Amino acid sequence: MADYDLLDEAFYVDPYPVLAKMRRNDPCWFDHRLGAFVLTRHGDVSRVLQDDEFSAQRVGQFTRGAPDHLREKVDIYVDALERWLLFIDPPSHTRLRARLQRAFGPVLLPVIEQAAQSAIGHALAEILESPNVDAIASYAYPIPTHVLAKVFGISDSDIDLFKRWTTEIFTLIGAGVADEAAVEAGYRGVIELRKYVLTLLAEKRRKPANDLLSALAIPADTEESEIAEEDLVGLLMSMIVAGHETSTNLIGNALRATLLNPQIRARISSPEELSESAVDEFVRYDGPVASMLRRAKRNVIIAGTAVPEGAFLFSMLLSANRDPRKFSFPDRIDLDRPATQHLGFGVGIHRCVGAFMARIVVGKAIQAFIRQFPEASVGGACVWQRNTSFRGLSKLPLNLGRRADWSFQSQG
């Protein structure tokens, strides 16, 4: 059995060759540093994410290796995240997701589309006069963040706080092995975000508006069971944190892939609008979520390997979505590929509720950028996040080149 270093800098830059080797030779491999099995084949990943033999309750694993003298802060962090929708099982998950799906539905489509139009137009206008930009800071980050602020009913002045809290919380989630700096960052982010959400809940109940957080804060008359206040706080925290981070990653990853592929660039530059399935292909090819962690509820056999009860498993979405057993020419972008088989938005009861919003925002953002800057190119070294859970760029330097005689605002 080979040895793989999933915490190496080179792996974060380009994980796909290593993942391909693991799929072929060690599809269920135990990583002693992570203290978990690593799954790389589509069938095994799909099974673990859907089967009730596996639990989503795994927050304690994120703090593996944390220094003993920080135990109190670790416990506060774990207690907060254990109430997030991503990290709970039925029946609590069923109640919270029902509240979320009631609030987060087609009624928000006009709000999302108008907010995306405004955010993209503003971002393009900001960078039109710049010869060089960092596409993450100037484009991929502000667009989904402004859209979510509008959908949630949150002041734009709070947007920069989201980024700081998200970065701090995910520093510990994706550390692999929790050092002192990661614990301190995660704790700080959780404490400050929780305080913000409690204030926000009180405001929405006192003065509700036509936004997502008001709908989440106030139960419907038909709601069968009451949701505990701390569970609701956890739901709001997870929505604020998870939504913009994954969309930022997806815009950055998709933009980089487009600029490095002349055929894809030409396709996106065409008058034809980018389809939802095309956005899904970007998710499959280089998605924003690297892995999802699960815990075995009982002894199981996966890919011929005995996995004991209580063991943790990293389900590598990046690998499953390039499994040649499921996809033809998986390392090639095919914008006409059917979108139904990839796992990039999750699967089963934990499938991303906001996937429809991501398709709208990301599709419009990528196409608008390429139409506005038809000669843009990657202008330097890209910097990838060091995170076992998420796949995204922290820096994407671009040379913008010639500007097209085209206005995104006029397309609305």
Mean pLDDT within 172-195: 89
CA distance 154 to 266: 37
Above 60 in pLDDT, residue 325? yes
Closest CA to 87 of 199, 237, 270, 277: 237
What pLDDT was estimated at residue 222?
A: 61
What pLDDT was estimated at residue 410?
A: 43
Give me the domain span that covers residue 188. 70-287+343-411
Q: Tell me whether residue 128 is exposed, middle or buried, using C-beta atoms within 10 angstroms of its C-beta: 0 to 12, 13 to 18, 19 or more.
A: exposed
Cα→Cα distances 186→80, 137, 156, 281, Å? 11, 22, 24, 32
CA distance 245 to 99: 22
CA distance 3 to 6: 10
The reply to whether 233 falls in a domain is yes
CA distance 375 to 76: 49
- In three-state secondary structure terms, 179 is coil
Higher pLDDT, 142 or 401: 142
pTM: 0.90
Number of domains in the chain: 1
Higher pLDDT, 130 or 384: 384
What pLDDT was estimated at residue 160?
A: 76
CA distance 269 to 267: 5
Q: Tell me whether residue 227 is exposed, middle or buried, using C-beta atoms within 10 angstroms of its C-beta: 0 to 12, 13 to 18, 19 or more.
A: middle
What pLDDT was estimated at residue 412?
A: 46
Q: How many other C-beta atoms are found inside a 10 Å radius of the C-beta of residue 97?
A: 19
The reply to whether 56 falls in a domain is no
Range with the lowest mean pLDDT among 40-54, 68-82, 169-183, 325-339?
Answer: 169-183
Cβ atoms of 71 and 181 within 8 Å: the answer is no
The reply to whether 326 falls in a domain is no
What is the pLDDT of the chain when averaged over all its residues? Answer: 89
The reply to whether 325 falls in a domain is no
In one-letter notation, the amino acid at residue 313 is L
CA distance 45 to 28: 10
The reply to whether 318 falls in a domain is no
* Angle between the N-to-C axes of helices 180-206 and 229-259, in degrees from 0 to 180, rounded to the nearest 10: 110
Closest CA to 368 of 24, 120, 27: 120
The token duo for 153 is 């009913």
Domain containing residue 98: CATH number = 1.10.630.10
Cβ atoms of 166 and 237 within 8 Å: the answer is no
- In three-state secondary structure terms, 22 is helix
> For 106-122, what is each residue's pLDDT tens digit?
778 888 999 999 999 99
Cβ within 8 Å of residue 240, ≥6 positions away? 148, 152, 154, 162, 165, 193, 197
Q: Find residue 39's DSSP bridge partners.
A: 28, 315
> Percentage of the chain with pLDDT > 90?
55
The reply to whether 314 falls in a domain is no
> For 238-261, what is each residue's pLDDT tens digit?
887 777 789 999 999 999 999 999
The reply to whether 24 falls in a domain is no
Residue 140 dihedral angles phi and psi, to the nearest 5°? -65, -35
Above 50 in pLDDT, residue 266? yes
In one-letter notation, the amino acid at residue 114 is Q
Cβ atoms of 382 and 393 within 8 Å: the answer is yes
The tokens 């002192």 sit on which residue? 180
Closest CA to 264 of 276, 278, 245: 278
CA distance 83 to 91: 12
Q: How many other C-beta atoms are found inside a 10 Å radius of the C-beta of residue 337?
A: 20
The reply to whether 85 falls in a domain is yes
Strands of 41-113 (E only): list them. Answer: 54-55
